[in-house]
Amino acid sequence: MSTGMRRRAATTAATLTMAGALGVGLMTPVAYGAGHGPCYDGRCTITVSKPGTIKVNSHKFGFGKLKVTHISSRTVKFSATSGGTRLGGSTSPGGTVKLNNLKIWVKSASGHKARLALFPTRY
8-64 residue pLDDT tens? 444 444 333 333 433 443 333 344 455 678 899 999 999 999 999 999 999 999 999
Are 5 and 61 found together in one domain? Answer: no
Q: How many domains would you assign to the chain?
A: 2
Quote the domain boundaries for residue 74.
32-120
Average pLDDT score over the chain: 80
State the pTM of this model: 0.70
Are 9 and 51 found together in one domain? Answer: no
Strands 76-82 and 96-99: unpaired
Q: Are 14 and 30 in contact (CB under 8 A)?
A: no
pLDDT at position 78 is: 97
Are 25 and 51 found together in one domain? Answer: no
